[in-house]
């Protein structure tokens, strides 16, 4: 067991303090560093072990293991920092690693945490600093910054590592990742392919062997498909994936060759939602040690009914003046102002073009066919646009319209002012009760040119509010003149200098959907779990992404001598056994697990020694620890 040097040698790096109490690190192992240290609390807050030097090879991956004394039934987080760029700050990209959490350890028992750290290929060669840290109640790297002072419980230890490109490659270690293909799709096709990718860090010539089953437990609502199509490329591997089952398993004895291998199985979901599928670190067990954890998300979206869509393709549309092709119409201008062209399609071969050779006056509009009114929560107008302006420019508008109300919902204008501002027509834009254009705060400078961009206007039927999205990002929220999208007008305003400007349009659609997000995915919220009163744990213990309106569940585990007391937080929900299920999630919220000490009882057994009397009560009594109980003694006559 090594003794630390005086903390002065930690400079020029920051020195950490834990003024509540020092709850120490008791083991740090990485490469050729293997340093157990004293487990007694109250020692040095920041220990200097820089005389201990380990060697790390750029590009290689190493296992790091840590232990600590949590000073009771408390949770400690553990982190490792390495100054890869040798700037003495420990805050560079990839310089921090969250190793894991330990609860209720003396630091000398078997409890430990491990993780894998990969040395960046570009790490600066030579000696640099490695810092190991433990902090009370930290569950993420953000809770363990490399420089900290003041209140808190924990400890820091500093070491030296030599970044040596000529160092031997360390032994091979197992690697694991996973994915869904596709990662999101319409719920009308609720299946996707789950792939587990098994590989080797520091791959050599030999295969690694699984020493235990690798089990992937699917999240609630996801099961193995009726036709699993389960297979593996891992030699000697046997995959178990029963139709309708909740697990996909690769059996003991499977081999992971140096080039890696895969396990695949088709899975299906029961409802729209975001399904987070995780395998815990250490679940992959091999003859070379345990592998990292892995996770992937699959999103099933609500079916979207496209009332109308067109790419202006043949045979419905032919090159030339648009006229009334495909049920479209023109308002204002002359026939040659709106054409079907092959000059610059956004997709396939043809597109709609607005341009004119003579400046003229007034407006010209291409108007889509009118559709029936939908009943979904949202109506969505979308299209791909490309604007090629001359020096003067032309105001071009994209206008979703509610013909039943005889009104536009709004008009999104790409204005020809010097700022190239993007504006919207607002009921109060010209003053209270006076319609007029208002700036969205965005501009189309970067959008000008031959490249198409995606425009979407999403309107909520219930209140006429709308959102304008460009390339999947919201740029403005407002309230429109109407709510029910029936057709789309694409408009150009003529005037001096407007001739020669071009607006190309492709893939125009009128959609009905119950999802009103720019990216078309269901809105989601973050549920953050934590432990309030300690002496237990909650799993999963990291923030969970939950689709709006869905629920999520957590498993609570009390430490020995404790029990689940209450679950608080802002999500609301119900506790059944040790499983807490939230209410339907409608906003970011929290789940806080609270634990309490068990009530210790003792049995007091009464009896009569010498007879001729009685004791009451005469049966064994259960008494809480520290309490008293009473008995009545009655002697027989003559005694």
Q: What CATH number corresponds to the domain at position 140?
A: 2.70.50
**Which bin fits 335, alpha (ψ -120 to 50), beta or left (φ > 0)?**
alpha
* Residues 221 and 252 grouped into a single domain: yes
* Residues 532 and 476 grouped into a single domain: no
Strand partners, 202: none
Q: Which of 513, 532, 564 is the last residue of a domain?
A: 513
- 82-91, 185-194, 227-236, 552-561: which has the minimum mean pLDDT? 185-194
* Residues 466 and 362 grouped into a single domain: yes
CATH code: domain of residue 448: 2.60.120.560
Q: Which of 480, 513, 546 is the last residue of a domain?
A: 513
> Does residue 518 sit within a domain?
no
> Does residue 331 sit within a domain?
yes
> Does residue 499 sit within a domain?
yes
CATH code: domain of residue 203: 2.60.40.740
> Does residue 80 sit within a domain?
yes
Read out DSSP for 47-64? EEEEEEEEEE-TT-EEEE
* Residues 615 and 544 grouped into a single domain: no
- Cα–Cα–Cα angle for 448, 450, 453, nearest 5°? 65
Neighbours of 36 (CB within 10 A): 15
Label residue 305 by pLDDT band (50, 70, 90): low
Among residues of the chain, what percentage have pLDDT more than 70?
97
* Per-residue pLDDT at 8: 56
List Cα–Cα distances, 304 to 142, 246, 308, 343, 516, in angstroms: 39, 29, 12, 31, 11
User: Which is nearest to 153 in space by CA: 49, 4, 67, 42?
Assistant: 42
pLDDT, greater one: 639 or 76: 76
| CB burial string 298-313: b at 16+ within 10 A, e below | bbbbbebeebbebbbb
What is the pLDDT averaged over residues 133-144?
92
* Residues 183 and 154 grouped into a single domain: no
* Residues 502 and 546 grouped into a single domain: no
Q: Which of 482, 513, 544 is the last residue of a domain?
A: 513
> Does residue 237 sit within a domain?
yes
* Residues 35 and 126 grouped into a single domain: yes
List Cα–Cα distances, 250 to 195, 539, 575, in angstroms: 12, 24, 33
| CB burial string 426-444: b at 16+ within 10 A, e below | bbebeeeeeeebbbbebbb
The helix/strand/coil state of 158 is strand
- Phi and psi at residue 326, in whole multiples of 5°? 60, 20
Strand partners, 379: 459, 512
> Does residue 317 sit within a domain?
yes
* Residues 332 and 469 grouped into a single domain: yes
CA dist 338 and 321 (Å) reads 6
What torsion, rounded to 10 degrees, do the Cα atoms 630, 631, 632, 635 define? -140
User: Which is nearest to 117 in space by CA: 82, 91, 144?
Assistant: 82
pLDDT digits (tens, 9 = 90+) for 459-493: 999 999 999 999 999 999 999 999 999 999 999 99
pLDDT digits (tens, 9 = 90+) for 435-451: 999 999 999 999 988 89
What is the pLDDT averaged over residues 78-89?
95
What is the pLDDT averaged over residues 621-639?
87
Show Cβ contacts of residue 626 under 8 Å, excluding neighbours closer than 6 positions: none
CA dist 462 and 484 (Å) reads 9
* Residues 158 and 13 grouped into a single domain: yes
Gyration radius of the chain's alpha carbons: 34
Read out DSSP for 373-440? ---SSEEEEEEEEEEE--SS---EEEEEEETTTTEES--EEE--STT-EEEEEETTTTSTT--EEEEE
pLDDT digits (tens, 9 = 90+) for 194-244: 999 999 999 888 999 999 999 999 999 999 999 999 999 999 999 999 999
* pTM (global) more than 0.75: no
User: Which is nearest to 544 in space by CA: 573, 515, 519?
Assistant: 573
Overall domain count for the chain: 5
User: Which is nearest to 624 in space by CA: 595, 593, 591, 602?
Assistant: 602
pLDDT, greater one: 533 or 482: 482
Residue that the structure tokens 């004293």 belong to: 38
Residue that the structure tokens 């036709």 belong to: 227
Structure tokens at 333: 């201008």
> Does residue 168 sit within a domain?
no
Cα 607 to its chain centre, rounded Å, is 65
Label residue 6 by pLDDT band (50, 70, 90): very low
List Cα–Cα distances, 192 to 71, 183, 195, 595, in angstroms: 46, 8, 10, 40
* Per-residue pLDDT at 45: 95
CA dist 262 and 177 (Å) reads 10
**Which bin fits 49, alpha (ψ -120 to 50), beta or left (φ > 0)?**
alpha
The pLDDT mean for the chain works out to: 91
From the DSSP assignment, how many helices (H) and strands (E) are in the chain?
0, 54
Label residue 266 by pLDDT band (50, 70, 90): very high
Segments forming the whole domain that contains residue 145: 7-163
* Per-residue pLDDT at 1: 55
pLDDT digits (tens, 9 = 90+) for 400-425: 999 999 999 999 999 999 899 999 99
pLDDT digits (tens, 9 = 90+) for 13-53: 999 999 999 999 999 999 999 999 999 999 999 999 999 99
* Residues 243 and 99 grouped into a single domain: no
Residues constituting the chain: 639
Q: What is the 3-state secondary structure (H, E, C) of 276-336?
A: EEEECCCCCEECCEECCCEEEEEEEECCCEEEEEECCCCCCCCCEECCCHHHCEEECCCHH
CA dist 285 and 296 (Å) reads 20
Structure tokens at 151: 């209140």
* Residues 151 and 19 grouped into a single domain: yes
> Does residue 1 sit within a domain?
no
CA dist 613 and 635 (Å) reads 4
* Per-residue pLDDT at 533: 83
Q: Are 413 and 401 in contact (CB under 8 A)?
A: no
* Residues 592 and 605 grouped into a single domain: no
- 247-256, 463-472, 525-534: which has the minimum mean pLDDT? 525-534
């Amino acid at each position: 067991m090594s003794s630390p040097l005086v903390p002065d040698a930690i400079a020029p790096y920051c020195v950490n303090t834990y003024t509540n109490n020092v709850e120490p690190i008791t083991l740090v192992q990485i490469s050729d560093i293997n340093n157990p240290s004293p487990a007694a609390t109250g020692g040095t807050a920041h220990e200097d072990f820089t005389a201990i030097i380990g060697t790390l090879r750029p590009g290689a991956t190493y296992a790091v293991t840590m232990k600590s004394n949590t000073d009771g039934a408390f949770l400690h987080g553990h982190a490792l920092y390495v100054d890869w760029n040798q700037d003495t700050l420990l805050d560079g990209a990839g310089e921090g690693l969250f190793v894991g959490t330990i609860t209720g350890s003396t630091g000398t028992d078997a409890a430990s945490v491990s993780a894998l750290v990969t040395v960046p290929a570009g790490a600066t060669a030579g000696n640099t600093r490695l810092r190991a840290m433990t902090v009370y109640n930290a569950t993420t790297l953000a809770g363990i910054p490399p420089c900290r002072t003041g209140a808190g419980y924990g400890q820091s230890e500093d070491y030296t590592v030599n970044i040596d490109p000529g160092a031997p490659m360390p032994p091979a270690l197992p690697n694991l990742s996973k994915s869904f293909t596709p990662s999101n799709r319409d719920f009308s096709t609720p299946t996707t392919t789950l792939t587990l990718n098994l590989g080797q860090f520091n791959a050599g010539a030999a295969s690694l062997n699984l020493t235990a089953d690798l089990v992937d437990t699917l999240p609630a609502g996801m099961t193995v498909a009726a036709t699993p199509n389960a297979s593996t490329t891992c030699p000697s591997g046997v995959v178990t994936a029963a139709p309708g089952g909740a697990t996909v398993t690769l059996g003991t004895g499977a081999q992971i060759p140096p080039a890696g291998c895969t396990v695949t199985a088709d899975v299906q979901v029961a409802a729209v939602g975001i399904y987070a599928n995780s395998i815990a670190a250490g679940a992959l067990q091999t003859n070379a040690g345990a592998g990292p954890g892995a996770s992937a998300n699959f999103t099933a979206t609500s079916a979207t009914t496209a009332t109308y869509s067109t790419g202006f393709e043949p045979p419905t549309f032919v090159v030339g003046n648009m006229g009334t092709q495909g049920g479209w119409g023109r308002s204002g201008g002359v026939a040659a102002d709106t054409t079907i062209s092959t000059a610059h399609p956004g997709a396939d071969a043809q597109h709609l073009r607005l341009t004119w050779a003579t400046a003229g006056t007034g407006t010209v509009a291409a108007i889509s066919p009118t559709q029936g009114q939908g009943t979904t929560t949202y109506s969505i107008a979308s299209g791909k646009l490309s604007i090629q302006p001359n020096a003067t420019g032309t105001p071009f508008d994209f206008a979703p319209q509610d013909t039943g109300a005889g009104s536009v919902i709004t008009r999104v204008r790409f204005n020809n002012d010097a700022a190239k501002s993007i504006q919207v027509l607002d009921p109060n834009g010209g003053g209270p009760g006076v319609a007029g254009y208002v700036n969205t705060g965005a501009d189309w400078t970067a959008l000008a040119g031959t490249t198409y961009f995606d425009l979407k206007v999403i309107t909520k039927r219930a209140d006429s509010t709308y959102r304008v999205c460009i390339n999947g990002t919201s740029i403005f929220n407002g309230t429109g003149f109407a709510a029910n999208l029936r057709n789309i007008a694409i408009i150009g305003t003529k005037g001096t200098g407007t001739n020669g400007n071009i607006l190309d349009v492709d893939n125009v659609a009128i959609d009905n959907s119950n999802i009103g997000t720019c990216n078309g995915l269901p809105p989601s919220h973050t549920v953050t779990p934590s432990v309030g009163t300690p002496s237990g744990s909650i799993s999963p213990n990291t923030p969970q992404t939950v689709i709006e309106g869905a629920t999520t569940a957590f498993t609570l585990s009390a430490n020995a001598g404790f029990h689940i007391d209450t679950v608080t937080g802002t999500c609301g929900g119900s506790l059944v056994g040790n499983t807490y299920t939230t209410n339907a999630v409608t906003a970011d919220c929290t789940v806080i697990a609270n634990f309490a000490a068990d009530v210790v009882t003792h049995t007091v057994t009464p009896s009569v020694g010498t007879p001729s009397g009685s004791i009451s009560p005469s049966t064994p009594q259960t008494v809480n620890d520290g309490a008293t109980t009473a008995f009545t003694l009655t002697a027989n006559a003559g005694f």
